[in-house]
Amino acid sequence: MTRRRAAWSGTISPVNASTGTPLPATTSRAVIDLDAIAHNAHVLAAVGGVPWMAVVKADAYGHGLAPVAITCLRAGATWLGVAQLAEALHLRALLDAAGVARPAHHPDSVPTSERPRLLCWLMPVLTPEQAAAPGSVLRAALAAGIDLSVSTRAQLDAIAAAARAESAAAGVPARIHLKVDTGMSRGGAAAADLPALAAAAKAAEDEGTVAVVALWSHLSRAEELGSGSTAKHLSRFLEAERTVAEAGLNPRLRHLAATAGLLWHPDARLDLVRIGIGLYGLSPDPAVANSAALDLVPAMRLEAPLTQVKRIPAGQAVSYGGTWRAPTDRWLGLVPLGYGDGVPRAASNGGPVAVGGIRSAIVGRVCMDQVVIDLGPATTPEGAPLDPPAAAGDVAVLWGAPDAVIPAADEWAQVCSTINYEIVTRLGERVPRVYLGRDAARISSLHDQEPRA
Ligand SMILES: *Cc1c(COP(=O)(O)O)cnc(C)c1O
């Protein structure tokens, strides 16, 4: 398994757990508060009242796969969910290496005697021959005990072939979650295709190559409370349950809801909820209820020290294309973060930034590695000089747990015409992640056992 995040071994810095001050302020970084993630997990688990899966795809929405996964397992997650097989294999290797699967032999393990269940829902396109070949990614997934999602006959056939090839070694059926399309029209079997898929799955189950452990789907408009969409999803889901039952299948687990479904559609919670965005302290739709209203604490703070503060005269243009001109003599700050780090270029002339007690904003275009922020007038209206309100080395915060000056990721999403999910998830590997929280140092020590790439 290659490391997906080369920075992983270097990103957990020594943390002063008693003061909460993590590191010398020398570089840009995303400070991830693992206590906030644990808090959010407890809040959402209490709302849901059913077992929950921590969705940690895309490097845990940019927050860092292993620290988030371990934090969620400690907070009571019984499942972990990812989109890609590479993510699933990487996660399994990290957890095994951290001793999470072997509590008796590791003092820092989570209190469970089982390997945590992992579900992966995007399948590769493989012929049965390819799937059965030694070293195939599906055989690796089965050997790693990863549950796989099945939407099509081709996926089922590939997994069954991999399981037949693998069972010589392991002798256990592939655990599959049948995915039905209940209205999103993304993955999942269409209602018309489900009877044949269910019959084939039943045949594979009878053969002992697969075990259909779950039936599942995904909601498309769970944040639109009045749309009636989720009720339609639910009724199609119940219809799918009847279809698979008629095929002789009896999946014990049914899951449908992500964060929005969990929060706003109690009927959709079923046997398991798959929680992503809420764990990270963000609302699936701040227009319905924001983080504070949901008692969630945003876990990521993106910050960097100002590398330069300088004065420019009235009328001078800033950054590529000169899209902003100083209305008066101005103090500017230079922040060493740009679109190469994942700061959206759409935040040009508007992305909010806090420096000390000041609310500032990006002026001019976002560059690859840097942005310029406006620190305010350099003279009084009468022309008397004003001192700069900040100095090189002062920390600029782009987003974090919001307060009177610190912007929320929600605000960035609004400025950039996107959603908070994208703001945090697109943050690049170039930005070191630094972990805060009661267990941060301990969790960082777990990764010493990470297998070599
Ligand atoms: C991303 C994802 C989730 C988590 O969604 P949130 O809105 O972040 O809670 C759940 N299920 C599936 C299938 C997903 O792709």
For the stretch 252-310, pLDDT in tens is 999 999 999 999 999 999 999 999 999 999 999 999 999 999 999 999 999 999 999 99
CA triplet 16, 291, 183: central angle to 5 degrees?
A: 125
* Cβ(128) – ligand 1 distance below 6 Å: no
The reported pLDDT for the residue numbered 453 is 33
For residue 451, pLDDT over 70 is answered with no
Does the beta carbon of 28 lie inside 6 Å of ligand 1?
no
Residue 120 backbone phi and psi in degrees, to 5: -125, 135
pLDDT at 24: 53
Listed residue (257, 255, 239) closest to 191, CA to CA: 239
Tokens of 395: 């920390």
Residue 149: enclosing H or E segment and its boundaries?
strand 146-150
Ligand 1 proximity of 61 Cβ (cutoff 6 Å): no
419 lines ligand 1 (CB under 6 A): no
> How do residues 31-89 score in pLDDT, each as one tens digit?
999 999 999 999 999 999 999 999 999 999 999 999 999 999 999 999 999 999 999 99
**What is the domain partition of the chain in residue ranges?**
34-290, 300-436
- The closest alpha carbon to 302, from 277, 337, 345, belongs to 337
| Residue 258 CA, closest ligand 1 atom number | 9
pLDDT band at 97 (very low <50, low <70, confident <90, very high): confident
Give the Å distance between the CA of 276 and the centre of ligand 1: 5
Judge if 34-290 and 300-436 fold alike in CATH terms: no
Q: How far apart are CA 65 and CA 181, in angstroms?
A: 28
CATH (one of 3.30.390.50, 3.20.20.10, 3.10.310.30, 3.30.1330.40) for 34-290: 3.20.20.10
% residues pLDDT > 70 (the chain): 88
Counting from 1 in the atom list of ligand 1, the atom nearest the Cα of 260 is: 7
pLDDT digits (tens, 9 = 90+) for 189-224: 999 999 999 999 999 999 999 999 999 999 999 999
For the chain, what is the total number of helices (H) and then of strands (E)?
A: 14, 19
CA 227 to chain centre: 27
Percent of the chain beyond pLDDT 90? 84
For ligand 1, atom 1, the nearest C-alpha belongs to 276
Residue 258: CB within 6 Å of ligand 1?
Answer: yes
Location of structure tokens 């005697």:
113
Q: Which residue has the tokens 């295709």?
A: 193
320 catalytic residue (yes or no): yes
For 15, 24, 37, the CA distances from 19, given in Å and listed in that order, are 9, 13, 19
- The alpha carbon of 438 is separated from its chain's Cα centroid by a whole number of angstroms, namely 21
Query: Are 424 and 409 contacting, i.e. CB atoms less than 8 angstroms apart?
Result: yes
pLDDT given at position 100 = 75
Residue owning tokens 């600029």? 396
**Residue 111's pLDDT is what?**
47
57 belongs to the catalytic site = yes
Taking domain 300-436, whether its CATH number is 1.10.10.10 is answered by no
Let me know how long the chain is.
Answer: 453
